[in-house]
């Protein structure tokens, strides 16, 4: 299988010069294409920090992160932005869509940054919104969409750039159970049909139940790694 994320001995220490806090402590992570993985653990266990590191948003204190064969450990901020644009999709807990853009524009925005042609953008945006069941909401702004609908737009946006994998930080935390279930079904389908790799950090048992691999973090260390 093709390795998408290969992280060795990941350590992240905050406040190194005052009172050091080890958020992640010597984590090894090896994820292959098409995995549907849940990162679980109590609050403060390092889930979000680990996601930020493998998402190229934060730097490690020690260790090495290789994404799809590229070592991003010491990449500059500007290069990381480019790298994220072309390799990583993000879904955030609070949706975080661009409020002034419509659903269609939000999804299209990432492709615009990739300088994709208008025709390609139009085609993919409509395709993605159809996949997340929002083809009738293309010209609606986020403030007029429900939480579940916003999160589905966020998923479409995460996939728009055709990333290597999607990182989702507590994607169902703000959703009611019906919306959460709907969203999970969509992501599971995309995982199955398009072989898209998903990594979630979550407390939600429904997400954990859907995951085919569950990595449990405790105090910044991998306590268990269960494949189903």
Partner 1 sequence: MLLKMAWRNIWRNKRRTFITMASVFFAVILAVLMRAANTGVYEHMVHNVVSFSSGYIQVHQKGYWNEQSIDNSFKEDEKLYHLVSDQKEVTEFVPRLESFALASSDDKTKGVMVLGIVPDKEDKITRLQEKIVEGNYINSKDRSLLLSEGLAANLGLHTGDTVVLLSQGYHGASAAGKYPVKGIVHFGSPELNKRLVSMPISLMQEMYDAPDLITSVSLMMKEGADMEEVKKKLISVMDTAHYEIMDWKQMMPELNQVIEGDKAGDYIVIGILYLVIAFGVFGTILMMTRERMHEFGILMAVGMKKRLLAVVVMIESFLIAFIATLAGMIGALPIILWFKEHPIRFTGEIKKMYDSYGMEAIIPLSNKLNVFTEQAAIVFFIAIFLSVYAARKVYSLKAIDALRS
Which stretches of the chain bind partner 1, using CB under 8 A?
52, 55, 57-58, 77-78, 80-82, 84-86, 90, 92, 96, 98-101, 105, 108-110, 112-114, 157, 161
Query: Minimum distance between the CB of residue 4 and partner 1, rounded to whole angstroms?
Result: 18
Q: What is the DSSP string of 95-152?
A: ----TTS-HHHHHHHHHHHTT--HHHHHHHHHHHHHHTT-GGGTT--GGGS-HHHHHH
CA distance 145 to 60: 37
Contact 103, 134 (CB under 8 A): yes
Query: Minimum distance between the CB of residue 143 and partner 1, rounded to whole angstroms?
Result: 10
Q: Which is nearer to partner 1, 94 or 177 (CB)?
A: 94
CA distance 18 to 100: 41
Phi, psi dihedrals of residue 122, rounded to the nearest 5°? -55, -45
Residue from 165, 162, 160 nearest 110 by CA: 160
Q: Which is nearer to partner 1, 82 or 135 (CB)?
A: 82
Query: Minimum distance between the CB of residue 85 and partner 1, rounded to whole angstroms?
Result: 3
Query: Minimum distance between the CB of residue 62 and partner 1, rounded to whole angstroms?
Result: 17
Q: Which is nearer to partner 1, 6 or 108 (CB)?
A: 108
Query: Minimum distance between the CB of residue 224 and partner 1, rounded to whole angstroms?
Result: 27
CA distances from 116 to 32, 138, 168 (A): 27, 19, 24
| Contact residues for 145 (Cβ-Cβ < 8 A; gap 6+) | 103, 137, 153
């Amino acid at each position: 299988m093709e390795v998408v994320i290969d992280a060795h001995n990941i350590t992240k220490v905050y406040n190194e010069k005052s009172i050091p806090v080890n958020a992640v402590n010597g984590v090894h992570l090896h994820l292959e294409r098409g995995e549907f993985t849940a990162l679980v653990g109590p609050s403060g266990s390092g889930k979000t920090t680990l996601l930020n590191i493998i998402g190229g948003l934060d730097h490690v204190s020690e260790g090495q992160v290789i994404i799809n064969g590229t070592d991003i450990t010491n990449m500059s901020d500007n290069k990381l932005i480019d790298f994220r644009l072309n390799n990583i999709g993000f879904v955030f807990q609070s949706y975080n869509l661009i409020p002034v853009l419509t659903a269609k524009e939000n999804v299209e925005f990432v492709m615009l940054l990739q300088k994709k042609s208008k025709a390609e953008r139009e085609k993919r945006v409509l395709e993605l919104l159809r996949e997340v069941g929002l083809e009738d909401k293309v010209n609606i702004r986020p403030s007029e969409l429900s939480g579940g609908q916003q999160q589905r737009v966020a998923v479409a946006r995460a996939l728009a750039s055709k990333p290597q994998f999607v990182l989702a930080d507590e994607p169902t935390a703000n959703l009611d159970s019906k919306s959460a279930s709907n969203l999970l079904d969509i992501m599971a389908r995309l995982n199955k049909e398009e072989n898209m790799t998903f990594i979630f950090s979550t407390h939600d048992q429904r997400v954990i139940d859907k995951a085919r691999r569950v990595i449990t973090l405790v105090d910044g260390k991998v306590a268990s790694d269960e494949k189903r």
